[in-house]
Amino acid sequence: MHTPRVPAPCHQQGLVLFISLIVLVIMTLAGIAMVRSITTSTQVANNLSLRQGTTAAADMALETARQWLIAISGTAPATLNADSAANGYSATNTVNPINPDDGTQWRTDSNWVWVASSCTPRPCAPAAMPQATSATTVANANGFSASYLIQRSCSNNAAPSLVIDTVAATGNPCNLIKACPNCLKDKTSFNVNYLITVRIQGPKNTVSFYQASIY
């Protein structure tokens, strides 16, 4: 009687397991890369949104200050020779409005005012000079708080002077801009330069300062 031979079992070499582990590692790295890419894209989008919100709030504050200057210049220009704390206005530019000890805050004696889209008419009533992190912060619908200070580019509270007598200490030197740059001195008018400083406090405790000069 002939008995058929049974082939001996083949020894497993582990090749399939090795390939599976390689594929698993590749898939894991691809997943991590995808998550990192999504996170980075989200951060970029958030930063752009924060920047746009800050710029919009600063533009609103700058326009509010500009409109106030235009209105006062047309109706009562002599009042610009004196400070107006209620309107965030300083007739001199001798003091930097930003706190030298904390570059994110106003100087404590700066007469800045809040700006908010809900204020009618604008500008809003002035704050009581607290730091901008206080509970009196006026925020718009997007969570940005804007405040501004207008400084006239003059040395003292008086009418601007074209003629300055340094010996007699008379006259009020100001940064004057010729209305007609190419005209002779006696053939043109001169405009006073004003510096508007805007402070924006936004989400995530962000603080930004903007400055613009108008005349």
Please report whether residue 200 resides in a domain: yes
Separation CA 85–CA 50 (nearest Å): 30
Q: If DSSP states are collapsed to H, E and C, what string results for 1-13?
A: CCCCCCCCCCCCC
DSSP 8-state assignment for residue 187: G
Please report whether residue 9 resides in a domain: no
**Alpha-carbon distances, residue 113 vs 64, 146, 147, 177 (angstroms):** 11, 9, 5, 27
Question: Could you tell me which residue, 109 or 42, shows the higher pLDDT?
Answer: 109
118 token code pair: 């809900």
| Residue-range definition of the domain harbouring residue 43 | 16-214
Residue 197 has pLDDT above 90, yes or no: yes
Query: What is the tally of structural domains in the chain?
Result: 1
Separation CA 194–CA 176 (nearest Å): 10
Please report whether residue 2 resides in a domain: no
Provide, rounded to the nearest whole percent, the portion of the chain with pLDDT above 70.
Answer: 63
Please report whether residue 53 resides in a domain: yes
Please report whether residue 36 resides in a domain: yes
Please report whether residue 20 resides in a domain: yes
Residue 80 has pLDDT above 60, yes or no: yes
Provide, rounded to the nearest whole percent, the portion of the chain with pLDDT above 90.
Answer: 3
Predicted pLDDT at 198: 92
Separation CA 61–CA 67 (nearest Å): 10
What is the separation of C-alpha 145 from the centre of its chain, rounded to a whole number of angstroms? 10
DSSP 8-state assignment for residue 203: G
Please report whether residue 172 resides in a domain: yes
Instruction: Give pTM, 2 decimals.
Output: 0.68
Residue 27 has pLDDT above 80, yes or no: yes
155, 170 Cβ separation under 8 angstroms: no
What is the separation of C-alpha 144 from the centre of its chain, rounded to a whole number of angstroms? 10
Rounded average pLDDT over 103-124 = 72
Please report whether residue 69 resides in a domain: yes
Question: Could you tell me which residue, 161 or 63, shows the higher pLDDT?
Answer: 63
Q: What is the DSSP string of 141-162?
A: TTS-EEEEEEEESBSSSS---S
Neighbours of 174 (CB within 10 A): 24
